[in-house]
Structure 1
Amino acid sequence: MNKLAIVIPYYKISFFEETLKSVFAQTDKRFTLYIGNDASPDNPKSLINKYFPAGNYNYYDYSENIGSKNLAMQWKRILDNVTEEWFQILGDDDMISENFVETFYENLDTVINDGSSVIRSPHIHINKNGTIIKDFTFQDRNSNAATFFQNITQRRISASLSENIFKYAEYLKVGFRNIPLAWGTDYLAIYEFSKKRPIFFLQNSLVSVRVTDLSISGRNDNEKEKRSAKIKFYEIILKDHLQDLDIKFILDLITGYLKEMRASKKLVSANIVTKFIFRPRTLIKIITNNFVVFVKNITAYKNSKKFGQL
């Protein structure tokens, strides 16, 4: 039985054939392909059949488009059908190197021995013409999950969804977080699915992530949704992972959170306030270790128009 599922949530046909070509070209065929059509106006069946004969893939033709409302639910709808131990969610405009599956199996025993439940491949960003925009490589075989999460959140390193392989059992325990545009959902999945175990890094495969004006990250007409997503992202971390991460990192998150709340003219979530009220030791530790910065944060928020309503 195959141990790897390649899951493609499909909607845009623009670069879909390139995606299919890359999957078809795999040197190791021990994978199961799942494609979920999120009520796209462009039927992809002829393209799929061009590379994969009927019966060699799992296709779900959904009548309701939910990706425009909730990307995480679009992924979950397809993942409910997966039976393999590991899965990759591959964007419908992204590509994998021909040795992607082969490299996965070559390292699987080591991954299991290390206790990892998240595997990452090197990745590059490409534009609509396939030209490399940015190249992201790494040397380590594995990395502490908390450190990696802090680095990607603070944009010291790059991460997205397509270059990850997740253990299905860990996904079932946590699920993908429901955040607008799924902006940050991939970051949280990498961290939360890892269960604080090391993240394993492949060395020889490659994932090409396409960034265009059709992609969420490449567009600039969705800034309001992105701001809401940032707020939700911050609230999840401050509510659920306050004790797990570095204090300086948490303080930076508070700074970012207050900034986005002020810009959005919103009040701080009651869940976040009570998180600190009922964990005074954590609050005291943050204050004593970062007194000056903390005072600046509180002063900035007091000066906001909404402060008097708390």
Structure 2
Amino acid sequence: MNQLAIVIPYYKIDFFEETLQSIAAQSNSNFVLYIGNDASPNSPLPIIQKHFKDNDYRYFDYNENLGGKNLTMQWERILENVSEDWFLILGDDDMIAENFVEEFYKSLQKVNSLDISVIRYSQFWVDEFNKPISTSTNFPPINSTKDIWRSKYFDYIPSSLSEHIFRKDSYNIYGFYKLPLAWYSDDVAILQFSRDKGIFFISKSFARIRISNSNISGKKDNEAQKKEAKYLYEEFILNHYYHYFSNKELLKAIDLHIYETWKTKNKLKINLFKIYFKSRNWFRLLKAPKTYFNLNIKR
């Protein structure tokens, strides 16, 4: 029985065939392939039909481009059709190793016994010519959500959506948190979908993550949107996951966010009262009303 859906939100044709080739080469074919065409100017069907028979995939040809508004909306409308217990959202220019699906099923019994809802694989970045431009990530098999989050936030260990498999039930609870360009939306998904029950890491397989001028990660003309997304992501983290910081780290993060709020003339939407009370920072708690007044009322 297939328990895994591989979902490709398709728009760019540049490296799409390599993505499909990596799926077609899987040593274990117990998965259902979903491809959603986000009103691309280039039909993917000739490439799909070259590598898969008609009954081997489910294709959705959408008339409205949602990825241009927010990529999470494109992910979600494809997922409406998914009935499998687990899903992978694979970028249309990323690739997975031949044993990717095989290692998923080998790990599934252990994952289910621990009630884990997020599986992460090793990954490394490649350029337009498939040349590796980063080293492979590596973690112990079982990790706390906090440790995985801190590894990216503080240690800058890279991660992306394409090396994660999620339990559909967890996704159904939260959906995807919508941030500009869906930048950091995958990080929020990992936090929420894991439900603080940890993340299972598979080191015996990997995903190759493409960095190029044709995708959001590699582009340089979207820095303003990325910056806005980062600000909103920090706001989300400080409101919901401030307990992942040490007190010293938390104070520094709050001060930086307050400064960005003042600089960008936004309104402060983090709950200083709750954060300072739970961290027992009474001096800051007493100053919180003045901070809100200066940022939200006085201006």
The residue aligned with 1:285 is 281
What is the rounded CA distance, in whole Å, between the counterparts of 1:18 and 1:286 in structure 2?
56
Between stretches 234-243 and 136-145, larger displacement belongs to: 234-243
Q: What is the alpha-carbon distance in structure 1 between the residues aligned to residue 65 and residue 115 of structure 2? A: 37
Q: Corresponding residue for 2:272?
A: 276
Equivalent-residue separation in structure 2 for 1:98 and 1:26 (angstroms): 5
Aligned residue type for 2:34:
Y
Verify the 8 A CA contact 1:122 1:202 in the aligned structure 2. Answer: yes
Q: CA deviation at 1:263?
A: 4.0
Any unmatched runs of 5+ in structure 2? none
Q: Secondary structure at the match of 1:30?
A: coil
Give the CA deviation at 1:59.
0.5
C-alpha distance in 1, partners of 2:134/2:210? 11
Structure 1: which 5+ residue stretches go unaligned?
296-300
Q: State the distance in 2 between where 1:172 and 1:194 align.
A: 12
Aligned partners of 1:123 and 1:158: how far apart in 2?
A: 8
- C-alpha distance in 1, partners of 2:181/2:260? 17
The answer as to whether partners of 1:247 and 1:286 remain within 8 angstroms in 2 is: no
Is 1:55 the equivalent of 2:51? no
| Alignment-derived partner of residue 136 in structure 2 | 136
Secondary structure at the aligned position of 2:161 is classed as: coil
Q: Deviations over 1:36-77 (max 9, x none)?
A: 000000000010010011121010000000101111111001
Letter in 1 for 2:187: Y
What's the C-alpha RMSD, in Å, of the aligned pairs?
Answer: 2.5
Output the TM-score relative to the length of structure 1.
0.88
| Partner-residue secondary structure (3-state), 1:131 | coil
Alpha-carbon distance in 1 for matches of 2:189, 2:242 = 17
Q: 1:252 to 1:6 in 2, by over 3 A?
A: farther
Deviation at 1:227, TM superposition (A): 1.4
Whether the aligned pair in 2 keeps the contact of 1:4 and 1:32 (CA below 8 Å) is yes
Residues 87, 287 of structure 1: alpha-carbon distance in 2 compared, 3 angstrom cutoff = farther
- Structure 1 residue aligned with 2:66: 66
Give the Cα separation in 2 of the matches to 1:179 and 1:160. 15
Identity of aligned residues (%): 41
Cα shift readout 1:170-192 (whole Å, capped 9, x = no counterpart): 01111110000111111111111
User: 1:28 deviation in Å?
Assistant: 0.2
Aligned amino acid, residue 106 of structure 2: E
The within-5 A match list for 1:80-159 is 80-159=80-159
State how 1:1-310 maps to structure 2 within 5 Å.
Answer: 1-243=1-243, 245-269=245-269, 272=270, 275-277=271-273, 281-282=277-278, 284-285=280-281, 309-310=298-299
Deviation at 1:139, TM superposition (A): 3.9
Deviates further, 237-246 or 57-66 = 237-246
